[in-house]
Amino acid sequence: MSLSSQTITQLRAKLTAGEITAVEIIDSLEQSIKEKDGAIGGYINPASYDFDAAREAAKSADLSLPLGGIPIAIKDNINVKGEPCSCASKFLYDSYVSPYDATVITKLKAAGAIPLGRLNLDEFAMGSTTDNSAVQRTNNPHDYDHVPGGSSGGSAAVVAADTAIASLGSDTGGSIRQPASHCGVVGLKPSYGRVSRYGLVAFASSLDQVGPLTKSVEDAALMLNVLSGSDTMDSTSLEVEVPDFTANLDAGVAGMKIGIPTEYFAAGIDPAVREVVDKAIDQLKAAGAEIVEISLPHTEYAVATYYIIAPAEASSNLSRFDGIRYGNRSSQADNLIDTYKKSRSEGFGSEVKRRIILGTYALSSGYDHKYYDKAQRVRTLILKDFTDAFEKVDAIVSPVCPTAAPKHGENSDDPLKEYLADICTIAANLAGIPGISVPAGTISNSAGNKLPVGLQILGPQLGEEVILQVAKVCESF
Ligand code: GLN
């Protein structure tokens, strides 16, 4: 088995036993990226990567550290000093180089990891397919005609294709969990505030979280150990103790109460997806969990609430891209206002423009009360649904997405259809609770290929230990 296809845990054991070197891991990755990424398109500009510099970093890596010698691929909306950070947008592509490290990158480096490679995404993380990237298309490694999911499509595809050991993604409404589900890898969205957002290019600041995509649940726990913690550079990061997330991984689910929310199994879920999820639930029961039907009654408002709050915050966050300080400046403009207008018209793609227009409208004078304020009130009800539910159960299990990965272009003329498919993931962001997607099975498509289906496990705020514990059991099915 090539080194690039192994988990962090496996590689770490071999590194510390002296059976392999960190340089050999880089060699293996370089080879697999060169062999496979041309067809998958997970990495942005891999031909420009300095593998020799990565080998130098590998040579001096401190193997006694938790991620010593492990290369980690990074979503292209997270700043790594000296590297381009395009957010898959024409606005920044070719013109923006990060002047600093995001806190998650500082933490990875301090833990001995080597950030290596920039991963494709939907432009500014807006989307569910990665087809909104202005840079390139990313294919699902299980069937190139299908999308990898999004917005962290590159982050999921490279881990699934063994062209990365593990990666970082960001999740505002499902963007770690959904591509993880579509590509058959593990994807963890931490609780809001668990991980610093400093250096993540902001999409919707009250929803965004950074998290890992990995080949195993144990690797996700290991990565979370490193990424977590309060940060003076992000006032929304929480000052709470960081447990060792690997400590209770094998505690099992015996005696645990697991909630099944009726609303997440409503019409619209593909029966084949349902079958995979039902089977996983039966297995959890067989492993000793008590399965309890629960209700999250405000679920039907989650999509509408999210698609007010996220675009509103995006319209504000993206106002910094005005052609003056960052990225693209139009050469066609002859005064200041024209510079703003033309730089933005040329630099942003259509989905980003749609969100800015929707968000600006929702915040505009006279309408803010009607839309934004109301959405915030509904958000509180959605949070209350979860608070009530977690008085009765330890964790909640559901599909991640109503279908397996769609084909490229399948929903491109119908944004509403694409937004509705976020139904199972976005409430967790609105409530700030943690969620994980773990591979649960596959379904065959008409081309005879097997497309992965993930199981979502949600926990109470700061309840990452519980969801990792449940995920670890599911992984063994
Ligand atoms: N699909 C959702 C959206 O388009 C979620 C994106 C994300 O989590 N970044 O907004």
**Residue 411 confidence (pLDDT):** 84
Q: Where in the sequence numbering do the catalytic residues fall?
A: 75, 151, 175
d(CA 171, CA 431): 13
Q: Which residues of the chain have pLDDT under 50?
A: none
User: Cβ(310) to ligand 1 under 6 A?
Assistant: yes
User: Cβ(127) to ligand 1 under 6 A?
Assistant: yes
> Ligand 1 mean position to 359 CA, how many Å?
14
User: Cβ(422) to ligand 1 under 6 A?
Assistant: yes
CA-closest residue to ligand 1 atom 5: 173
**Residue 413 confidence (pLDDT):** 81
> Ligand 1 mean position to 126 CA, how many Å?
5
> Ligand 1 mean position to 8 CA, how many Å?
28
Write the pLDDT tens digit of every residue in 109-149. 999 999 999 999 999 999 999 999 999 999 999 999 999 99
**Residue 1 confidence (pLDDT):** 84
Six-digit token pair at 329? 């400046």
What architecture (CATH level 2) is domain 1-477? Alpha-Beta Complex (3.90)
The Cβ-side half-sphere exposure at 330, using a 13 Å CA radius, reads: 19
d(CA 46, CA 44): 6
**Residue 308 confidence (pLDDT):** 97
> Ligand 1 mean position to 39 CA, how many Å?
25
Across 235-245, b (16+ Cβ under 10 Å) vs e yields ebbbeeebeeb
Domain locations along the chain: 1-477
**Residue 457 confidence (pLDDT):** 98
Q: Which of 210, 229, 110 is nearest to 167 (CA)?
A: 210
**Residue 320 confidence (pLDDT):** 96
> Ligand 1 mean position to 339 CA, how many Å?
29
Instruction: Give just the sign of the alpha carbon dihedral 460, 462, 463, 468.
Output: positive
d(CA 156, CA 214): 8
- Return the ligand 1 atom nearest residue 310 CA: 10
**Residue 425 confidence (pLDDT):** 97
**Residue 326 confidence (pLDDT):** 87
d(CA 433, CA 275): 26
**Residue 268 confidence (pLDDT):** 84
User: Cβ(188) to ligand 1 under 6 A?
Assistant: no
User: Cβ(130) to ligand 1 under 6 A?
Assistant: no
d(CA 69, CA 19): 13
Q: Encode the chain in three state secondary structure.
A: CCHHHCCHHHHHHHHHCCCCCHHHHHHHHHHHHHHHHHHHCCECCHHHCCHHHHHHHHHCCCCCCCCCCCEEEEECCECCCCCECCCCCCCCCCCCECCCCCHHHHHHHHCCCEEEEEECCCHHHCCCCCCCCCCCCCCECCECCECCCCCCHHHHHHHHCCCCCCEEEEECCCCCHHHHHHHCCEEEECCCCCECCCCECCCCCCCCEEEEEECCHHHHHHHHHHHECCECCECCCCCCCCCCCCCCCCCCCCCCEEEEEHHHHCCCCCHHHHHHHHHHHHHHHHCCCEEEEECCCCHHHHHHHHHHHHHHHHHHHHHHCCCCCCCCCCCCCCCHHHHHHHHHHHHCCHHHHHHHHHHHHHHCCCCCHHHHHHHHHHHHHHHHHHHHHHHHCCEEEEECCCCCCCECCCCCCCHHHHHHCCCCCHHHHHHCCCEEEEEEEEEECCCCCEEEEEEEEECCCCCHHHHHHHHHHHHCC
- Return the ligand 1 atom nearest residue 204 CA: 9
**Residue 266 confidence (pLDDT):** 83
Which amino acid is present at 10? Q
The most distant pair of C-alpha atoms in the chain lies apart, rounded to whole Å, by 70
Q: Kind of pairing, strands 71-75 and 114-119?
A: parallel
Burial of 283 (0-12, 13-18, 19+ CB in 10 A): middle
- Return the ligand 1 atom nearest residue 127 CA: 4
User: Cβ(175) to ligand 1 under 6 A?
Assistant: yes
